[in-house]
Amino acid sequence: MTPPRVLTVAGSDSGGGAGIQADLKTMLALGVHGMSVITAVTAQNSLGVQGAWELPVEAVRAQYRSVVDDIGVQAVKTGMLASAELVETVAELIGGTDAPAVVDPVGVSKHGDSLLAASALDSVRTKLLPVATVATPNLDEVAQLTGVRVQSEDDLRRAAAAVLAYGPRWALIKGGHLPGEAVDLLTDGSEEHWLRAPRYDNRHTHGTGCTLASAIASQLAKGQSVPEAVAAAKEYVTGAIAAGFALGGGIGPVAHGWAFTGGTPGA
């Protein structure tokens, strides 16, 4: 049987922990066929981002058309889009595709390196968020995009309302950067789903956001509803964080294959 097909539109992380590499590993682990449109190439490792180069708009468009016109997609995920021009191009492409879109509005890496030009923020708000089925900002991205500064769980509702005002069907506000339990809020403005998991203080959390968004897209492609897909994706990313491992001298990656290795840290 042909597996469901999922497309990631994102940047390459040479260190293999985030970006396209995290997305494809997640898709393999969750049993879907992963495909990629590369928007930018980063020189990146456990210590930070040493360099980043965008691809030309024609290269992004051509990759997208090659995949969608022949193979077809059951879900799309977007990550690092680097510039206003690429954000607008990708928004137009996914707006014209009949598949759910999970938009991870990637702004900065875990090390604080910028992965999106400041001049692109307005295009994210007005072009990309309106075509999202689910938008998955972290707290820094919420602050950049909406001005809402989340300091407690109560603020997550306010953040979600501010994100929903830009037009995505659902907002998943990731409270991963708050102290205490790892709490996220999923809402479409009427239903609310609180997702809670224990916090693992192993610091090997490079690529958590990419992994979560790709897992949501994978579950949507299998036909799950948004709340079901997000709940399953949260379980997957939590297992991957629990089994995260040291690599290089800085922040190590989550373990995408944890379900195959029994969830043993670093196995």
Ligand X SMILES: Nc1ncnc2c1ncn2[C@@H]1O[C@H](COP(=O)(O)OP(=O)(O)OP(=O)(O)O)[C@@H](O)[C@H]1O
Ligand Y SMILES: Cc1ncc(CO)c(N)n1
- 25 Cβ contact list (under 8 Å, min separation 6): 256, 257
Nearest to 16 by CA among 253, 263, 266, 260: 253
CA-CA distance, 44 to 47, in Å (whole number)? 8
Which of helix, strand or coil describes residue 200? coil
For ligand Y, the nearest residue by Cβ is: 19
180 is catalytic: no
* Catalytic choice (25, 77, 127, 174): 174
- Quote the least distance from Cβ 247 to ligand Y, whole Å: 14
Asked if residue 184 binds ligand X (CB under 6 A), the reply is: yes
Closest CB to ligand Y among residues 26, 44: 44
- Quote the least distance from Cβ 77 to ligand Y, whole Å: 11
Closest CB to ligand X among residues 97, 200: 200
Closest CB to ligand X among residues 7, 150: 150
CA-angle at 182, arms to 178 and 187, nearest 5°: 95
48 is catalytic: no
CA-angle at 215, arms to 226 and 41, nearest 5°: 125
207 is catalytic: yes
For ligand X, how many residues bind (rule: CB under 6 A)? 23
- Quote the least distance from Cβ 49 to ligand X, whole Å: 11
Quickly list DSSP for 123-137.
HIIIIIGGG-SEE--
> Strand 5-13 to strand 33-45: parallel, antiparallel, or no bridges (unpaired)?
parallel
Residues that bind ligand Y (CB under 6 A): 10-11, 13, 18-19, 42, 44, 79-80, 106, 109-110, 115, 209-210
Q: Scanning residues 195 to 214, which ones bind ligand X (CB under 6 A)?
A: 197, 199-200, 205-210, 212
For ligand X, the nearest residue by Cβ is: 209
- Quote the least distance from Cβ 112 to ligand X, whole Å: 10
First to last CA, the chain: 30
Cβ atoms 95, 241 nearer than 8 A: no
Closest CB to ligand Y among residues 182, 210: 210
Q: Which partner from the list ligand Y, ligand X, none does 55 bind, CB cut-off 5 to 8 Å by kind?
A: none
Closest CB to ligand Y among residues 82, 230: 82
Asked if residue 234 binds ligand X (CB under 6 A), the reply is: yes
209 is catalytic: yes
CA-CA distance, 12 to 53, in Å (whole number)? 10
CA-CA distance, 217 to 106, in Å (whole number)? 16
- Quote the least distance from Cβ 206 to ligand X, whole Å: 6
234 is catalytic: no
**Token pair in block for residue 242:** 């629990």
Length of the chain, in residues: 267
Active centre residues (catalytic) = 174, 205, 207-210
